[in-house]
Amino acid sequence: MSLPYTELFVGLLVAYMVYSAWARLDSRYLIAGALALLVAAAIVDAGGATGAANTLAVYVFLLLAGGVVLLLVDHVRDRPADAEGGGPPSQGGNGGAGQPSAQAPNERHAEP
């Protein structure tokens, strides 16, 4: 009886994703792991073990998909609370003095 390694990997990946979203870990960890595993898959394929390289490629795909999902979770979580208000709120009622100028910093004005 062989173990279902892909199903086991998916289960561990989902558990990590839930923990990562809860603990607010950096979502790029999965993508970095996928890139490292992609290099390993290329080395294994160059060694002649095509079946193992294909299995590693499936794991790379799953890690990349999980990383993208975590990036989307971070993006949605980091939205400002006043997104429907249009613009950013003024800072401390100072008339927007803390906001950057609409003028380019290196723009020169010609004297009349």
Question: What is the pLDDT averaged over residues 29-43?
Answer: 95
Token readout for 65 is 């998909």
Distances (CA, A) of 109 to 89, 102, 104, 106: 30, 14, 11, 10
pLDDT of residue 63: 95
pLDDT(3) > 70: yes
Q: What is the pLDDT of residues 50-89, one digit of tens each?
A: 999 999 999 999 999 999 999 999 999 888 776 565 555 5
pLDDT(94) > 60: no
CB 26 within 8 A of CB 70: no
Interatomic CA distance for residues 28 and 31, integer angstroms = 5
Distances (CA, A) of 35 to 42, 74, 78, 102: 11, 20, 26, 40
pLDDT(110) > 70: no
Token readout for 3 is 């173990």
pLDDT of residue 61: 96
